A and B are shown apart, each in its own frame.
Chain A
Amino acid sequence: MASQPPGNLSPTTSPGSPAFGTPDPSPSLVSPCPHIPACPPPLCLPSHLRAQPVQASLAKSAPLLEDTDGAAKGYETDAGYVRKFAGTMDDSATGVDAVKQWTPRFEGWNLAPMAGVPIVGLMFVNRLNTIADTWRDSAGILSEVLRTDSGKIDKAADNYVAAARASTAE
């Protein structure tokens, strides 16, 4: 009695497991990322950072194509180049700003005798710091210029699209 249930189970499971094993190399293990342009390995990117699937971009431009032939698509792509340039400008502004944050100064324990700068070097420290500070401020100016101007260019792209759309609508 007691030996029967395990005896019954073992024949059923042992042929069952190879049957399960054969279809097992399932795609779900190979690519856990369900997104169409697969995300970079470790984790899936948040939705707004993910590359838009191809269908989405096609669907976006498709109604425009139907609207007015060719010309509509033209101004969008042209404006797209402008926006891309503005985006690069904005990235550059961020890059310069990041670099700015790292500007090294000599301060704090660096100035303590026998810990950091040699004592004859102390007379140069202020001048080196002045250079670093000016550099940092200048980098800040450049970053700000790039940031605001990228906004201007973005706005210009918007204006262009609006104007082109208005003229095709008429």
Chain B
Amino acid sequence: MSTPSGEPPKLIVPGSTTPVANQQLYVSNASGTVQRTVTVAPKPRTDPGFYKRLITELNPLRQSNRAAMAVSGLGVAALALDVAATLNLGNPFLFYDRREQWKSMAGLLEGSRSDLWRAFFDDISPNWKGQARDTLQQYVRFNVNGLYGQLGKITDEMSGAMHGQYKEVLEYDLSVFGLYATSAPILRAVAAMSAHPVGRVALMTQVGLFMSAAGNLVKQFADVYKSYEGALNKLELKLNDLRGAFYRSGNPALGARDLHLTPAIADPTQLENYWVPMSKEAS
């Protein structure tokens, strides 16, 4: 009769968007008594602004380099490289944020899995015998636990992949910035002398050097990125496992598998077989 007294307030309602700030989650038992409160804090990580500052610092350097390239007569080719190098800049915070996000998701998921596991072995297992216990044990050990496991594998792998990208993007940003910062003063100085034929040769040489350095950088970065193909492939293999666990024939188009408990567990006519308390003597 005393159905668990409704949902405690402040729950994250399914379908609502990301929880805004620190949310208190009251974990109550069946009679509505608060067992503990959990603070669900998707700590909104704020962008420290590294990337923004990098771009604002980089822009004047780019301007002076482009001016020098235009004067040198290697304009179009050099400009193309400049564009390629700068378009490949990425905001490392984006990947850092994703890394942390997937990591905390993995943590929460694991916590929820352990809660369920412990609840079965603390509450049901020592107090009940009969078919319900066996059914629930199978359900917890082989069904739900496996599903949690599949989800957890992806979160872990995602966090790892995001970390890899974070590192590479940050390194690339810094090398591009370094390249511009070192070449800009030289190019500016040489461009000022380009009216003289010797100065012009010097300028062309410097622009050529800059171009080859930038070209190398872009190529290396593309190679690094292509190596992510490997990480992504690993992720997609795990995704296959995930699909296999959750969907019929592993195909989302065919709909979700029936992963539910057998309805017989709540069938009043089968109560005798299913729910036998431990205290009851075998009769």
Which stretch (B12-20, B73-81, B187-195, B203-211) binds chain A? Answer: B12-20
CA distance A99 to B139 in the complex (A): 22
Give the number of chain B interface residues (Cβ < 8 Å): 95
Evaluate contact between A102 and B279: CB separation under 8 angstroms. Answer: no
Instruction: Identify which of A114, A131, A145, A148 contacts B236 (C-beta below 8 A).
Output: A131
Minimum CB–CB distance from A91 to chain B (whole Å) comes to 5
Interface members, chain A 59-109 (any B CB < 8 Å) = 74-75, 78, 80-92, 94-99, 101-104, 106
Inter-chain contact B12/A120, CB cutoff 8 Å: no
A87 touches B259 (CB 8 A): no
Residue in B4, B155, B221, B232 whose beta carbon sits within 8 Å of that of A128 in the complex: B232
Taking CB atoms, residues of chain B closer than 8 Å to A104 are: 97-98, 101-102
Q: Is the CB–CB distance between B31 and A52 below 8 Å?
A: yes
Interface residues on chain A, number (Cβ under 8 Å): 75
Q: Is B109 in contact with chain A by the CB < 8 A criterion?
A: yes
Taking a contact as CB atoms under 8 Å apart, the answer to whether B102 and A159 are in contact is no
Q: In the bound complex, how far is the Cα of B108 from the Cα of A152, in angstroms?
A: 25
Q: Is the CB of A149 within 8 A of B261?
A: yes
Q: What's the nearest-Cβ distance from chain A to residue B41, in Å? A: 11
Q: Give the complex CA separation of A83 and B123 in angstroms.
A: 9
Most B-side CB within 10 Å, residue of A117, A118, A119, A137: A118
A113 and B86 CA atoms in complex are apart in Å by 9
B11 partner, pick from A40, A94, A127, A157, beta carbons under 8 A: A94
A158 touches B27 (CB 8 A): no
- Contacts of A86 on B, CB cut-off 8 Å? 4, 30
A116 adjacent to chain B (CB < 8 Å): yes
What residue of chain A has the Cβ atom nearest to residue B111's Cβ? Answer: A95
Question: Cα distance A104–B100 when bound, in Å?
Answer: 11
Q: Which of these, A80, A97, A134, contacts B14 with CB under 8 Å?
A: A97
B28 contacts partner chain A, Cβ-Cβ < 8 Å? yes
Interface of chain A, main secondary structure: helix
Tell me, yes or no, whether B69 is within 8 Å of chain A by CB. no
Is B60 an interface residue when CB atoms closer than 8 A count as contact? no
- CB-CB under 8 A from B265, the residues of chain A are 152-153, 156
Interface flags, B121-132, vs A, CB<8A=1, else 0: 001100110001
Which of B90, B242, B256, B271 interacts with A118 by CB under 8 Å?
Answer: B90
Asked whether B144 is an interface residue with its Cβ less than 8 Å from the other chain, the reply is yes
- B66 at interface by CB-CB < 8 Å: no
Any A CB within 8 A of the CB of B5 = yes
Q: Which of A139-153 contact B (CB under 8 A)?
A: 139, 141-143, 145-146, 148-149, 152-153
What are 24 A-B interface contacts by the 8 Å CB criterion?
A: A40-B37, A45-B34, A51-B33, A74-B279, A75-B277, A81-B127, A85-B119, A88-B123, A90-B4, A95-B112, A98-B40, A99-B109, A101-B19, A102-B104, A118-B172, A118-B225, A120-B222, A121-B169, A128-B161, A135-B239, A138-B245, A149-B139, A152-B266, A153-B136
Closest 8 CB pairs of A and B: A83-B30, A118-B90, A88-B119, A95-B112, A78-B277, A155-B266, A81-B123, A156-B266
Besides A45-B26, A146-B144, A152-B266, 19 other A-B contacts (C-beta < 8 A):
A51-B33, A52-B31, A78-B128, A82-B124, A84-B29, A85-B119, A85-B123, A98-B19, A118-B221, A118-B225, A120-B225, A121-B169, A128-B161, A130-B239, A131-B239, A142-B151, A158-B1, A158-B3, A161-B1
**Interface residues of A, Cβ cutoff 8 Å to B:** 40, 45-46, 48-52, 74-75, 78, 80-92, 94-99, 101-104, 106, 110, 113-121, 124, 127-128, 130-132, 134-135, 137-139, 141-143, 145-146, 148-149, 152-163
Please list the residues of chain B having a beta carbon within 8 angstroms of any beta carbon in chain A. 1, 3-5, 8-9, 11-12, 14, 16-19, 25-34, 37, 40, 42, 55, 86-91, 94, 97-98, 101-102, 104-105, 108-109, 111-113, 115-116, 119-120, 123-124, 127-128, 132, 136, 139, 144, 147-148, 150-151, 154-155, 158, 161, 165, 169, 172, 221-222, 225, 228, 232, 235-236, 239, 242-243, 245-246, 252, 256, 259-261, 263, 265-266, 268, 271, 274-275, 277-279
